[in-house]
Amino acid sequence: PTGSLLYPYGPHQGDETNPKHDDGTSEEITLSVPFTFYGKSYQTAFVNNNGVISFDEPVRQYTPDPFPLADGRPFVAPYWGDVDNVLGGDIFYRQTTDPALLADISQDITQYFPNSPFTATWALVATWDHVAYYGSTSQKGNTFQAVLTSDSKMFYIILNYWDIQWTTGAASDGDAETGLGGIPAHVDSPPIFQAGFNSGDDTNFYNIPGSQTDAIINITTTSNVKVPGRWVFRVDKFEVTGVDPPQLNNDCWL
């Protein structure tokens, strides 16, 4: 599916395709523009099959931990869950300086953040296209996208949620037929999935509202920029716009 929410993707856009491998990951991506994420600059990234873009190291873990992570891994979790692209779907990514795409991204971000005019010079576009969940016996798939972009001074991440049909893989106690249910999101137990950011500094993190609860299935209707299914964050320094300040503890958003 393609809609105005998703930026163009796929092999015809020059995308790389991740290997078909449960809990797999892309090759190490050397960023042509180092990406500043919460005060630190990173030269390499990985697009991980389980719905995570990580810096410096891949993430193969399939049952998400609550943020903030104690081990200091910095990453973006558009939709951290137990994806199995062997059973269905593809994960695509590309770095791009395509003028038409950068113009669209620049226009969008300037609209959302009018006090900081933004002209993108680079983007990394990662798309999970109708990806299945581990243990699936259904045709359900999730389609979502993460865009890292910069003008070399400001750094933004755009998360696009086009179609979300499942929340939990079977190895995390989800139902194999529905991809729903799973480990309840209590403080003492692992969450079903995670959507948000972990800065790597033990303190700063952000959970998109609905994370760690079944309500995340509705993420295609929520937003912090008044575009259903889209969340946009400036990430070179820690600030969250359009929603309450980030919580600096382990409480779930409910």
Mean pLDDT score of the chain: 78
pLDDT tier at 229, thresholds 50, 70, 90: very high
pLDDT given at position 102: 97
* CA angle (181 as vertex; 251, 147 as ends), nearest 5: 65
Residue 222 CB partners (closer than 8 Å, separation 6+): 208, 209, 210, 228, 229, 231
Residues 6+ apart with CB under 8 A from 114: none
Q: Inform me whether the pLDDT recorded for 161 exceeds 70.
A: yes
Q: Is the pLDDT of residue 219 over 50?
A: yes
Q: Where along the chain do its domains lie?
A: 11-240
Task: Note the pLDDT tens digit of each residue in 175-204.
Answer: 555 555 544 333 333 334 567 877 777 777
Residues shown for the chain: 254
Across 8-17, 39-48, 226-235, 245-254, least confident range? 245-254
CB of 14 within 8 A of CB of 94? yes
Least confident range from 44-58, 169-183, 194-208: namely 169-183
DSSP SS3 for 252: coil
Q: What is the pLDDT of residue 245?
A: 40
pLDDT of residue 199: 79
Say how far residue 238 (Cα) sits from the centre of its chain: 17
Considering the entire predicted model, what is its pTM?
Answer: 0.82
More confident residue, 198 or 228: 228
pLDDT band at 244 (very low <50, low <70, confident <90, very high): very low
pLDDT higher for 146 or 250?
146
The separation between CA 68 and the C-alpha centre of its own chain, rounded to angstroms, equals 16
